[in-house]
Structure 1
């Protein structure tokens, strides 16, 4: 099924960054985790609704999906006094964190469905470490099927179950005989 091509919105990308900084800016929210949260928002929403929230283009980099224009976006946000990047020691590593200065999340910039996606992604990943969320992105088909440095295709969102964890056939899922067989394996 062909879905709508996402159109890029720097304003929405900035707002999603601010949302996560306001909503789950805990000890685990460094730059690496933030980039993966952006990926999950866009790919989760694309999978469910046929378009991404920000329209950002993501590339396969060593630590996971990374939005192409994020460096320029953050630089503009810093120059405008909206956020500031700080470095902190976290479990023996230097963590690059963004903090909000004069930025405020504006829910009016988003549809109800987009807000639900933001809320769900925040709830799902709030307490995850960067390593945990990075590992999760690496298990997904869009990551696994993309060459290093190349653009991750939004069309791959429909195949996002973890590689090797394909969904169960619906007929088998309702079968008592199959359920008994699976139980016997445990």
Structure 2
């Protein structure tokens, strides 16, 4: 077990010492073998401080099942597949139950239930579910092909929900296409993107996290928060968090597609007048749960947010200008992530 964290303390009947007392619920990184692959995953376990046994940790049956699902999800992440939570979010996106989602796709009644609980989908099924989420028109086509599997009322309800998503996501879908087109030259893992291909969902959640954490967040400051988040994460773990590519600009590091990424769904942009200048305030648009992030990601996000929470845009720009990564690159030059290892320490 690597470094662990205290989640909470609960009163329970301890199976190790047979007493009712406060038990620590902890979470830590460990390893498992899934499909002959070794994966790192976050395990939840309980710790009894009163036990005389050499091993004072235990995992109840229900928690053991949850840990196994976390291990399987870690395998999915490693292989670039949707996690069980991702699949649940896709069907919830359209207001579908597990059986509804399976029926819409023409699959067996319990296929989606199994994917969300224990089975790992193959790449073909994974791609189909992604297409349903990324393109509501594809979802609508699936519904029409398998409409006989729904009663008239259920069919009408699902069709209405999907059509609403078509309208709502029309502009967003185009915006995602714009972002992806600007990153067409960065589809391989290199030093420019921190050895991570752009992850728009993760980026959207990171931006949403900062919008929730900070009362006065403006576009210029956000761009620096993203740079510090990515570079610190890279320095610690060898990969960037979002896959953004940053260029050297007069106001510091600026990601490619900076105008487009502020229109992702977790935030909304409000024009604000400060000293007769138009500024773009970044406000939360929908809640981003911390469960969207790993413990490693949260540790970096919290560090960056806490450090710069009270910095104004100019202050964080001046701070960034002192970084060697900025000093050793030229105007419009891409800032390589390897320079992140030489950042000033944030405390």
1:91-120 Cα offsets, whole Å, 9 max, x none, are 55432112223x221323321111110011
Quote the residue 2:260 is aligned against. 72
Distance 1:124 1:83 in 2: 22
Distance 1:7 1:160 in 2: 22
Which moved further from structure 2: 105-114 or 10-19?
A: 105-114
SS in 1 for 2:247: strand
Runs (5+) with no aligned partner, structure 1: 163-186
1:100 to 280, 284, 292: 284
1:116 to 281, 288, 299: 299
Distance 1:73 1:124 in 2: 23
Quote the residue 2:202 is aligned against. 12
Distance 1:39 1:71 in 2: 15
Q: RMSD over aligned Cα, in angstroms?
A: 2.0
* TM-score normalized with structure 1 length: 0.75
Distance 1:160 1:56 in 2: 18
Number of aligned pairs? 153
SS in 2 for 1:117: helix
Which of 1 and 2 has greater Rg? 2
Contact 2:271–2:280 (Cα < 8 Å) also in 1: yes
Distance 1:122 1:7 in 2: 24
| Structure with greater proportional strand content | 2
Distance 1:89 1:150 in 2: 31
Aligned positions of 1:33-182 closer than 5 A: 33-75=221-263, 77=264, 82-101=266-285, 103-161=286-344
* TM-score normalized with structure 2 length: 0.42
Distance 1:146 1:71 in 2: 22
SS in 1 for 2:262: helix
Distance 1:47 1:92 in 2: 39
Runs (5+) with no aligned partner, structure 2: 1-190
Give the number of the structure with larger relative contact order, counting CA–CA contacts within 8 Å between residues 6 or more apart.
1
Quote the residue 1:178 is aligned against. none
1:75-94 Cα offsets, whole Å, 9 max, x none, are 3x2xx5x4321121235543
Q: CA deviation at 1:6?
A: 2.5
